[in-house]
Chains A and B, each alone.
Chain A
């Protein structure tokens, strides 16, 4: 390679390296702000890296699994209450007054957006269902004991609270 090409190559590589360095520093600095949601554990104990606790009245998103058996539905209205938990053992109660998405089931991952109210509850204005990266035919899922029945309420859940 002649010197002019070498110079241009060095410049181009320096450009890529510089931009990569800036981007990684930026992403490192913003790291915890780039998460779409808090996990229930983070609401109780604060964020993993910064320890920041969300305040009462703050608008946040919470993501986790709907705890099986925690769903309570008001028979008179759309009002529902359910608990979501994560693998680290944190749990938070979510209340919601609108239609739940089709994929919503107990045991399903969800992301709820709303306002944190007294008593560690989240008053949700939007509930989104999260699905995982596993796809399988229904027969296979059945064989693995992973059937997804439509939400079925036990009698004590139907009776309200």
Chain B
């Protein structure tokens, strides 16, 4: 039985044909270690990796050298949060009530190590209230605000441009978690975000094991890991320039090249086209679900603009049970806490969590209708 994937917020599947082809091309042609040698294999690979770096730079409005390849978004966020905080011992950090553990855990770890204090700003349905909530928490030593740009649980989009302005006015480093929004809605450094962190394998359609840290260069990011970079090799200290300072060890060349192709796919398809397509699928799903009284959709009717992600629950079933039953019927939806305990606590959907419906550019209306029919059998 073929599986229909509606768990694209965890990782997108299927991948575009161009991405699949890029894997083969990379394996066949780009087998060198970039930045480590002068031979053709190494140089060709370095050029291919640079091409992907430039693609990401253009996509997020950055300079290519300020694009760092990471293992995933958690890795990028750890580098950003811990790397910036290191220069500010005892600083205060603000995060949102919708954070994924990729933000909450590194910040909490810094707190346990007595390297920072932190506060949680409640995200409201009303952006004015959200901004006020943040403003009230700002202290003299607030150095970093880390906010999800769009929730991986509800799809709520945070007012990140206004947060950027607030950070800029107060000399605060703004780190944005773009894991769910990148590839669906435009996000640029010019939105006031100092460091954008994202996965590469979700709506950017690269392989798993890819992520990006994109800096505007304003804040020094100390490395959380040192090692070989292919540069300044006689020195025992890590290079202080990007991307080398944060890219120790051999980069995931195949992953980076596929990520570049994934971004090209998003550009070619059109980010607005993808957003509209996925939003239509979500709207269709929600409208069909309304006929089932036992289904509770986790959306706030006062919020008009969501990322194409829908969380829901079915009375009488835990989220995991519902996910498993749907899996038996050939559908992949993620049930549980989505690594976002804070968000589920805030939404009062903890400890059960929710079932999450997250389409990609490759899903269609027929598949949504098939899912609805499957849900009808279990409600």
**A and B associate:** no
- Residues on A lying within 8 angstroms of B by beta carbon are none
